[in-house]
C-alpha cells in the first residue's frame, strides 16, 4: 500500500499526556504516577514509541492544574523533549507550547535548540490559552472588550494572534542563513554578519526586530503542527502549519473534515506543500474482545465521568483498530495521532500489537529510513527567506516583543 506524499502505508504518531488521556488513568493498576516527574519515565515512553517505529510523539503542556481528584502537575514539554533527544535516535519530538502568554522569541530558540539536540527531529505544536485563570499566572493581560465570560478573547482573536506568533517564530528560524557560522579561528571570525538578518515583524500583537541568537535549525524549519477543532483553528492550520490534527468521529466525518482543511487552505491562499492531515483517536487496546471496553468502564466509574473531549474513543483489539485505521485512511488522511488512554498499557498496545498487525498487512514501515522528521513526512527542507545582506550589523539588534 502506497501512502500519501511518497511514504509507504500509514503514518502514526502518539500523543503523550501524563499517565494517559483518561482522567483516571493514574489510578490504573499498571500506571506509574510516582514516576511522572522523572526523566526515566519519559525516556521509557519515548523509547517504546521508537521501538514501534512511530513517526513522532507529541508532548502535551498546560498552564492550569486539572480538576480535583485527577493527576495534578506536569513538566515543561520543550524541556522534556530536549531530555528525550539524546536517548532516542529516530522518532520525532513535538512539544506543545502556549503562544498566548509566551514570547515567540523564546519559543523559537527553544524549538531550534531541540532540533540541534535531536539532529533534525524537532516539531512544535502552538497552543492558545483562552482562560482568565491562565492569564492570571502572568499578570500582563486583561480580557479584550467583548470577550466571552471567563475568557480573555474570542477564538478568532486568539488564533489570529497565534498565527502571528508562528510567523515570527518561522522568520526567526530563517534569520540566520545556512552557513552563517564561519568558525575561522585564524582570523577570529565566527560569523558572517551579512548572513544574519533583521526580521522586522510588525503586527497588531507583536513587534519583533530579530535576528535570533540561535543558528538556522538543521531542518531549516522544524515541523509546525496544529490541532484544529474550530473554524479559527482550521484557519490557523491553513496559514501556519505543516501538519494538522483533526477530531472526526466517523468515516463520513473524516472526509468532511479533510474537505474542510482543503477549503481552508484555498481560502488562505496557501501555496507550496499541502497540509499533512492526521486524525486524532483516543485508544484503549487489549487482546481479548471486550476487555478494553470493560477496562475503560472501570476507569469511568473511578472518575465519575470519563474523558470529556471531542475526540472519538476506540475500545477493542489491535486487529479491530487496524481495520478502522485502514478504512478511515482512504478518506484522505496522511495518518493518525493516537492518544493512549492509559500509559504505558495502551502505548505498548500500539507498539507491540497494532504495529505488527499493520506490518503484517503491508500497511506500516518495518524500519526507519529518513533521518529528519520533515523527510519522514515527505516535506522538503525549505530555503531560507532572507537572501540579501542585512542592512545593519546584527550585534546592534534587539529581540523585540509584544506590542
- What letters, b where the CB count within 10 A reaches 16 and e where it falls short, cover 265-284? beebebeeeebbbbbbbbbb
Binding residues for FMN: 61, 96
The pLDDT tens digits of the residues spanning 116-155 come to 999 999 999 999 998 998 888 898 888 898 899 999 999 9
Distance of CA 371 to the CA centre of its chain: 18
Binding residues: 61, 96
* pLDDT of the residue at 73: 83
Nearest in space to 60 (alpha carbons), one of 261, 250, 309: 309
- Is a pLDDT exceeding 70 seen at residue 58? yes
| 25 DSSP assignment | G
The pLDDT tens digits of the residues spanning 201-258 come to 999 999 999 999 999 999 999 999 999 999 999 999 999 999 999 999 998 999 999 9
- Which alpha helices (H) appear in 138-287, and where do they start and end? 155-174, 231-240, 251-268
> What domains can be seen in the chain, in order of their start residue?
4-402 (3.20.20.30)
Burial class, 355, CB count within 10 angstroms (exposed 0-12 / middle 13-18 / buried 19+): buried
Nearest in space to 57 (alpha carbons), one of 359, 311, 344: 344
What gap in Å lies between CA 115 and CA 53, rounded to an integer? Answer: 19
The pLDDT tens digits of the residues spanning 248-290 come to 999 899 999 999 999 999 999 998 899 999 999 999 999 999 9
The pLDDT tens digits of the residues spanning 142-151 come to 889 889 999 9
What gap in Å lies between CA 287 and CA 356, rounded to an integer? Answer: 13
* pLDDT of the residue at 394: 37
The pLDDT tens digits of the residues spanning 326-385 come to 999 999 999 999 999 999 999 999 999 999 999 999 999 999 999 999 999 999 999 999
* pLDDT of the residue at 220: 97
Cell of 28: 490504573
3-state SS, one letter per residue, for 71-88: CCCCCCHHHHHHHHHHHC
Nearest in space to 54 (alpha carbons), one of 88, 81, 6, 78: 88
The pLDDT tens digits of the residues spanning 371-392 come to 999 999 999 999 999 975 434 3
* pLDDT of the residue at 176: 95
What gap in Å lies between CA 226 and CA 240, rounded to an integer? Answer: 8
What gap in Å lies between CA 66 and CA 72, rounded to an integer? Answer: 6
| 206-208/401-402 β-pairing | antiparallel
* pLDDT of the residue at 306: 85
What gap in Å lies between CA 95 and CA 277, rounded to an integer? Answer: 18
- Is a pLDDT exceeding 90 seen at residue 65? no
DSSP state letters, 250-308: SHHHHHHHHHHHHHHHHHHT--SSPPEEEEEEEEEE-SSTTHHHHHHHHHHHHHTS---
E strand spans, 35-146 = 56-59, 92-98, 123-127
Q: What is the pTM of this model?
A: 0.92
Which DSSP helix (H) or strand (E) runs through 60? none
What gap in Å lies between CA 253 and CA 140, rounded to an integer? Answer: 40
The pLDDT tens digits of the residues spanning 5-25 come to 444 589 999 999 999 999 999
* pLDDT of the residue at 191: 87
The pLDDT tens digits of the residues spanning 80-126 come to 999 999 999 999 999 999 999 999 999 999 999 999 999 999 999 99
Amino acid at each position: 500500500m502506497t501512502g500519501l506524499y511518497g511514504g509507504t502505508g500509514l503514518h502514526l504518531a502518539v500523543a503523550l499526556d501524563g499517565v494517559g488521556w483518561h482522567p483516571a488513568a493514574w489510578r490504573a493498576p499498571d500506571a506509574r504516577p510516582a514516576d511522572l516527574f522523572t526523566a526515566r519515565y519519559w525516556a521509557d515512553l519515548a523509547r517504546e514509541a521508537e521501538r514501534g517505529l512511530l513517526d513522532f510523539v507529541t508532548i502535551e503542556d498546560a498552564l492550569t492544574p486539572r480538576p480535583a481528584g485527577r493527576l495534578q502537575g506536569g513538566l515543561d514539554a520543550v524541556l522534556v523533549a530536549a531530555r528525550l533527544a539524546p536517548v532516542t535516535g529516530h522518532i520525532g519530538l513535538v512539544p506543545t507550547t502556549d503562544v498566548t502568554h509566551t514570547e515567540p522569541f523564546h519559543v523559537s530558540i527553544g524549538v531550534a535548540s531541540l532540533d540541534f539536540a535531536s539532529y533534525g527531529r524537532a516539531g512544535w505544536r502552538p497552543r492558545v490559552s483562552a482562560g482568565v485563570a491562565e492569564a492570571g499566572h502572568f499578570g500582563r493581560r486583561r480580557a479584550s472588550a467583548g470577550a466571552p465570560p471567563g475568557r480573555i478573547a474570542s477564538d478568532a482573536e486568539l488564533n489570529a494572534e497565534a498565527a502571528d506568533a508562528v510567523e515570527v517564530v518561522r522568520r526567526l528560524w530563517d534569520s540566520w542563513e545556512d552557513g552563517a557560522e564561519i568558525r575561522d579561528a585564524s582570523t577570529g571570525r565566527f560569523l558572517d554578519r551579512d548572513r544574519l538578518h533583521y526580521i522586522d515583524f510588525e503586527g497588531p500583537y507583536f513587534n519583533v526586530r530579530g535576528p535570533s541568537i540561535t543558528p538556522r535549525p538543521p531542518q531549516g524549519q522544524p515541523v509546525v503542527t496544529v490541532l484544529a477543532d474550530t473554524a479559527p483553528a482550521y484557519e490557523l492550520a491553513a496559514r501556519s502549519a505543516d501538519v494538522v490534527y483533526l477530531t472526526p468521529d466517523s468515516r463520513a466525518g473524516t472526509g468532511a473534515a479533510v474537505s474542510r482543511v482543503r477549503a481552508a487552505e484555498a481560502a488562505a491562499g496557501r501555496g507550496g506543500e499541502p497540509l499533512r492531515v492526521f486524525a486524532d483517536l483516543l485508544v484503549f487496546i487489549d487482546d481479548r474482545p471486550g476487555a478494553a471496553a470493560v477496562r475503560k468502564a472501570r476507569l469511568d466509574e473511578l472518575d465519575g465521568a470519563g474523558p470529556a473531549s471531542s475526540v472519538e474513543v476506540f475500545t477493542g483489539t489491535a486487529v479491530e483498530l487496524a481495520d478502522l485505521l485502514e478504512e478511515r485512511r482512504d478518506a484522505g488522511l496522511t495518518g493518525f495521532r493516537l492518544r493512549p488512554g492509559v500509559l504505558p498499557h495502551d502505548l505498548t498496545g500500539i507498539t507491540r500489537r497494532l504495529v505488527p498487525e499493520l506490518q503484517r498487512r503491508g500497511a506500516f514501515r518495518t524500519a526507519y529510513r529518513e533521518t529528519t522528521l520533515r523527510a519522514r513526512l515527505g516535506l522538503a527542507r525549505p530555503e531560507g527567506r532572507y537572501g540579501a545582506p542585512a542592512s545593519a550589523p546584527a550585534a546592534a539588534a534587539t529581540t523585540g516583543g509584544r506590542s
